[in-house]
Amino acid sequence: MNTSEYIESGILELYAIQGLTPAEMQEVEAMCAAHPEVRAELDAICASLEGLAEVGKLNPPPALKTRISSQLTFATEAPVHNILPGETRVVAMNSSMTPWYAVAASTMLLIASSGTAYHFYSKSQSSEQELLAIQTKNSVLADQYQNVQKASFEITEAMAIMERADAKVKLMPAKPEVTMSAMVYWDKANNKTYIDPASLAELEEGSQYQLWALVDGKPVDLGVIAVDFRNRPMYEMKGVEGAQAFAITIEPMGGSAGPTMEKLVVLGKVAV
């Protein structure tokens, strides 16, 4: 088959709409790699399907963006500081509630970094390379400082949530073979639900924990628990009213519309 016959066979269109088996897909990819004109044809087909998506645009509800970004892990963008000898640095703390150890740790980090900087700087003022090394080290320290600050802020937050919660519900194993537990903090007054997932087991790739409330005997989805749930002490979930119990199931990535009962791991009743 020559390339124009191949193009006219309709296989590229099927590839673009994903109507082929993996073996057929590989064949198309090989053809594309070997023949630029086949590749160009496939690109044009894909572009027309992109066009179809483009004309069918529909704005999602505005609140969805925040909800989605709360499920993602972002890189912390640490600023690179140039600390020169004699320079003093005033660091504003986030709030008066920052624990003393964060202040102490960060002060020590800053003293250490200034000291290191001065040592190197006076030793070889002319060497740009060494200055670069200092800057790198410094940005590492700045990173560490940010992490300490972030962790202390999260702990403070978590403590405030625990204090505000009207109901603290311990979720216990639903089956004998389950050995984990979790804690739900329910702030009824503000219609907020939080989870401390610390003792949940790691999940295999492609699965996610999902929190449910039982309201009048019916399950209500309170959202999936972030994949990196070990990184923070507390996660905010969807709010709920009138919950009698909370439960966690293991669901496919992104969660399910209804709980998969065979994958129920922990549950707990709200004390009346």
Partner 1 sequence: MSTRIQIQEPELVQQLQERSAKAFDMLYDSYSAALYGVIQRMVTDEELANDLLQEAFVKIWNNISQYDSGKGRLFTWMINLTRNLAIDKLRSRGHRNSQKNRSLDNAVNEVDSSLSTTFSVESIGLKKLVDGLKEDQRFIIELLYFKGYTQSEVAEEFDIPLGTVKTRVRMAVTELRKHFDLK
Question: Site residues for partner 1, window 9-48 (CB under 8 A)?
Answer: 9-11, 13-14, 16-20, 29, 42-48
Burial 211-249 (b: 16+ CB within 10 A, else e): bbbbeeeebbbbbbbbbebeebbbbbbeebeebebbbbb
Question: What would the x/- binding string for partner 1 be over residues 228 to 267, using CB under 8 A?
Answer: ------------------------xxxxxxxxxx------
CA distance linking residue 115 with residue 120, whole number of Å: 9
Length, in residues, of the chain: 272
Question: Site residues for partner 1, window 74-93 (CB under 8 A)?
Answer: 74-75, 77
Does 174 bind partner 1 (CB under 8 A)? Our answer is no
* Binds partner 1 by CB under 8 A, chosen from 35, 168, 227, 263: 227
Single-letter amino acid, residue 165 = A
Which of 246, 239, 234, 70 lies closest to 159, judged by CA?
Answer: 234
Count the residues of the shown chain that bind partner 1, applying the rule CB under 8 A: 58
Q: Which is nearer to partner 1, 86 or 206 (CB)?
A: 206
Q: What is the DSSP letter of 87?
A: -
Q: How far is the CB of 74 from partner 1 (least distance, A)?
A: 4
* Binds partner 1 by CB under 8 A, chosen from 2, 5, 22, 57: 57
Q: Which residues contact 259 (CB under 8 A, 6 or more apart)?
A: 210, 212, 219, 247, 249, 251
Q: How far is the CB of 93 from partner 1 (least distance, A)?
A: 23
Distances (CA, A) of 58 to 17, 34, 194, 199: 21, 38, 32, 40
Q: How far is the CB of 214 from partner 1 (least distance, A)?
A: 8
Q: What is the DSSP letter of 127?
A: -
* Binds partner 1 by CB under 8 A, chosen from 1, 30, 34, 64: 64
Binding residues for partner 1, rule: CB under 8 A, are 8-11, 13-14, 16-20, 29, 42-61, 64-65, 67-69, 71-75, 77, 214, 217-219, 227, 252-261
